[in-house]
Structure 1
Amino acid sequence: MSTSRHRTLPHARRFAVLSAAAVTGLALTLGTATAPAGAQSLVPQTEQEATDLIEDRQAEDSDALNRSNVPEGVSVQEARAAVDKSDEVTTADVEYAAALEDLPSDAVPENFYETPNQLPEEDGAVLKQAPSTFYLDPIKLIKHDAKTTAFMYRTTDEQGNARAATATLLTPKGASAPAKDAVVISPGTQGIADKCAPSRQMAMGTEYEGISVTSALAAKRPVVVVDYVGLGTEGTHHYLNRVEEGRSVLDAAKAVQNVEGSDIDGDTKLQLRGYSQGGQATAAALELASDWAPDLNIASASAGAVPTDLYDTVSKLSNVYTAFLLYGIDSFAEQSGVELSEYLNQKGLDAAESASNQCTIEALVNHAFTDTTTLTKDGNSFQEIVDKEFRPIVDKQLLGQSPIPDVPVLVNHSRLDDVVPFGLGRELASTWCDAGNRVAFEDNLGPTHIGGYIAALPRVEIFTNRTFDDKAPLDSCWRL
């Protein structure tokens, strides 16, 4: 793939690119994005996309770029600017520099995600597995030493159809065997495109949940990261569908016990953990556990910034996060059998199509501050479309309506959360308390939704260690 010309890239430019890449990696890890929206469309999400991009940009000289060798959807001017301005390097430039360094390609093979022609009868049955890697940065200089295995398993969607889903098992060096305890992570919003699956993004070094995964691995216990139904594999990912998310989590926890090389077995204590969409998936899994997976040894759970009421969440969401609304409107329409063209104008249809092919960070940057009234035919907001067409789908996602296992639960939420209203987290904790559960409620002052996520991590690890040691965490029910 590389030529001698590529390998003689001047050191000054190479180090400039790699230095800027470190900043890019940090931005991706923390869930922020500093590159302009036009540049973000250059970001490759798979090894093949990165390879194609490199082949399209065979020269450092931006004058060599023209309409024939610039990726579709990117202007020649944008491409030239991305090449010329190393201080505005994009992830695409990072991948370009990485290829010049002949860094290894350790992503899960694309055909791994193809669903077998026939699925087994039992949910949680393992269909296949493949070695993978976990990189902490998009230029793949920082590789975690955990043994990483992607696996596919059977689950069932809300309509009762057998589906294949994927997840990743990470076993750190020094972990005990068999594993005494393990963490099952439900990731936050990734996007709705297959390329956004955490198992794919961890191998690419672009998974923002890497900070949570690394935190969990530091305790020398295995970690399972779930992809969710339709995220990575065939079929649609129904964004924020609590039943399909909850089943994905529980069936992954069952399946991992039969993954070759896994140290997790039926006696391993499990903690279910997640934040935001992951918090919703964790809470949903708890509510489904007694019927769907009664034999799982769930020892505790941690649910952060849980959108227990999607209607309340959507109604208060600012246009900074229009990408989330685009994910939702696309998913709700698919589940309801509604044609978006009935409500959205061409700009709206283009925005929905664009977001559906972008992962979270890219989508947030590209669609930030978009007023949804400019995307509809009649000038109504997305909220009004939800009221008219999607309220039944939204109300089916309510949480806090069913009993959960009698295990310690941590509910964490920032008072300054600008995505999921703080009151929803407090109300969920209070509801579980009223039902007789042992609940530790931890608020914090982390600024914004992502700030609350980072601020909660230390407390989550303390809670995890205490519950795995059979020590009762502080019960907050008396003050809720």
Structure 2
Amino acid sequence: MATLIAAATTVLPLTLSIATTATAADQPAFYEPPAALPPHNGDVIRSEQAVFYLDPLKAIKVDASVDRIMYRTTDRLGKPIAVTGTVLTPRNVNLSPRPIVAFAPGTQGLADKCAPSLQIAQGTEYEGLPIKKLLDQGFAVVVTDYQGLGTPGVHTYMNREVQGHAVLDSVRAAQRLQGAHLPADGPVALYGYSQGGGATASAAELAPEYAPELKIKGAVVGAPPADMGQMAAGLDGSAYGVFFNYALSGLGAGYGIDIDAYLNSHGKRVTHDLRDNLCTTQALAKYPFLHSRFLAAGLRPLTELLDRAPWNAIVADQQLGKRRPAVPVLLSHSTLDDVIPQQVGKKLAADWCRLGATVKFSSNHIPGHIAATIATGREGVPWLQDRFADKPAPSTC
């Protein structure tokens, strides 16, 4: 793990500085869905060979079989949609049956160029090292792009249900991908941090009804944004203020609301810049401490919308912890998280415990939301190995 952390300190700065070179004009035709979709969720629409680089100079190529995929899933209303992703299978370790880990990515941004399947191939995916760590154990990994990242439309950021669907159907797609040789009925796990933690939590909640055939052994949930109502005011105007703008855009897209109606001319320029041009690291650098009152028509904080219809019902619909995961969960969250307060994660664990789930809540004291991903990976990988070995899952309930 020490080697992994050391590598992160050398790769990440290059990622932040060079990732700005990609443009919307670089978007491949691969990401345009066909007029007709296949009949079943998880069906592969198309695939192509790809590569996985850990750095934007493309000096460090990961030894894995890599396929970019487009597959069918469903939106919030159950309508079939196409999303993209990446299936990675390690070459250096051979497990039988080979487990599949559905890796739900953290906040990438809203622009199409931010799709993880593009960034994995360009060496600019900031979660490349956690993905490689899973591959090093011999696990296959499938990484969804979610709705609207790469594919047409605004990315439905923070939409609980559609994110959970995309994660679960990514596993089905990996199992059905010709040439990947992944077992159709083999062991599966879910893994994600931040936005990915929320998507993983949603997938774990939805799986018993949406994907009951998947043999899910457990879910690693890091710093989940489980209750936006608790988080919005703290995000707005903070160093991570763009995340609130992402959420407003994503929820609006998921529920058919054009948020331009709530914005002044400056707000429209900023919002469209975030949607069309910038990935997360670029957005945080360009718009630090973004406060919604300077973007809003009427100069009132846009967080006030969340207390009024229809937004209050939309926000309530995203809350996690109302459904019991049928699989063991490791929930990791730092006391010093500066984006998602630990109390949000702690409450989710308590809610799941009350519903009868098996949950280990793991607290750490790593300062900062981004750095605390280390703690999730350090504990999460051996925890997954134990689940795949069918060892009894620990619980703090």
TM beyond 0.5: yes
Any idea what the Cα deviations from partners look like across 1:257-289, whole Å, max 9, x if unmatched? 111122322331111010111011111111111
- 1:356 matched residue in structure 2: 275
Residue 439 (structure 1) shift: 1.3
Residue 316 (structure 1) shift: 1.8
Match of 1:391 among 299, 309, 312: 312
- 2:104 matched residue in structure 1: 186
Match of 1:247 among 145, 156, 165: 165
Partners of 1:399 and 1:191 lie apart in 2 by 22
- Bigger mean CA deviation after superposition, 326-335 or 350-359: 326-335
- 1:201 matched residue in structure 2: 119
SS in 1 for 2:164: helix
List runs of 5+ in structure 1 lacking aligned partners.
1-21, 50-108
Give the aligned residue type for 1:288.
L
Give the aligned residue type for 1:380.
R
Partners of 1:233 and 1:409 lie apart in 2 by 31
Partners of 1:337 and 1:309 lie apart in 2 by 21
Residue 379 (structure 1) shift: 1.9
- 1:347 matched residue in structure 2: 266
Q: Tell me if the contact between 2:98 and 2:140 (Cα under 8 Å) persists in the aligned partners.
A: no
Partners of 1:225 and 1:282 lie apart in 2 by 12
Partners of 2:46 and 2:253 lie apart in 1 by 29
2:252 is the alignment partner of 1:333: yes
Q: Tell me if the contact between 1:268 and 1:297 (Cα under 8 Å) persists in the aligned partners.
A: yes
What is the percent sequence identity of the aligned residues?
A: 40
Structure 1 residues 205 and 46, CA gap change in structure 2 (3 angstroms): farther
Structure 1 residues 339 and 431, CA gap change in structure 2 (3 angstroms): closer
- 1:123 matched residue in structure 2: 41
Higher relative contact order (CA 8 A, sep 6+): 2
Any idea what the Cα deviations from partners look like across 1:311-369, whole Å, max 9, x if unmatched? 11112225211211121222233344444343322111111111112111111111112
Residue 456 (structure 1) shift: 2.1
Match of 2:12 among 26, 46, 52: 26
SS in 1 for 2:45: strand
- How do residues 78-157 of structure 1 correspond to structure 2 at under 5 angstroms? 110-157=28-75
Q: Tell me if the contact between 2:95 and 2:138 (Cα under 8 Å) persists in the aligned partners.
A: no
Partners of 1:213 and 1:289 lie apart in 2 by 22
Q: Tell me if the contact between 2:24 and 2:113 (Cα under 8 Å) persists in the aligned partners.
A: no
2:375 is the alignment partner of 1:455: yes
Residue 177 (structure 1) shift: 5.9
Match of 1:420 among 337, 340, 344: 340
Structure 1 residues 420 and 120, CA gap change in structure 2 (3 angstroms): same
- 1:9 matched residue in structure 2: none
2:202 is the alignment partner of 1:284: yes
- How do residues 307-318 of structure 1 correspond to structure 2 at under 5 angstroms? 307-317=225-235, 318=237
2:321 is the alignment partner of 1:403: no
Q: Tell me if the contact between 1:47 and 1:204 (Cα under 8 Å) persists in the aligned partners.
A: no
- 2:3 matched residue in structure 1: none
SS in 1 for 2:20: coil
- 1:223 matched residue in structure 2: 141
Partners of 2:69 and 2:260 lie apart in 1 by 37
SS in 1 for 2:271: helix
- 2:5 matched residue in structure 1: none
Give the aligned residue type for 1:27.
P
SS in 1 for 2:209: helix
Any idea what the Cα deviations from partners look like across 1:206-235, whole Å, max 9, x if unmatched? 101112101111102211111112211123
SS in 2 for 1:446: coil
Give the aligned residue type for 2:356.
G
How many residues are aligned here? 387
SS in 1 for 2:124: coil
RMSD of aligned alpha carbons? 2.1
- 1:43 matched residue in structure 2: 20
Any idea what the Cα deviations from partners look like across 1:88-128, whole Å, max 9, x if unmatched? xxxxxxxxxxxxxxxxxxxxx81211211211121111111
Structure 1 residues 465 and 178, CA gap change in structure 2 (3 angstroms): closer
Partners of 1:465 and 1:319 lie apart in 2 by 37
Residue 463 (structure 1) shift: 0.5
Any idea what the Cα deviations from partners look like across 1:15-48, whole Å, max 9, x if unmatched? xxxxxxx98842266xxx5x6xxxx8x8122596
2:93 is the alignment partner of 1:175: yes
Structure 1 residues 339 and 175, CA gap change in structure 2 (3 angstroms): same
List runs of 5+ in structure 2 lacking aligned partners.
1-7
Q: Tell me if the contact between 1:193 and 1:356 (Cα under 8 Å) persists in the aligned partners.
A: yes
Partners of 2:228 and 2:337 lie apart in 1 by 15
Q: Tell me if the contact between 1:45 and 1:196 (Cα under 8 Å) persists in the aligned partners.
A: no
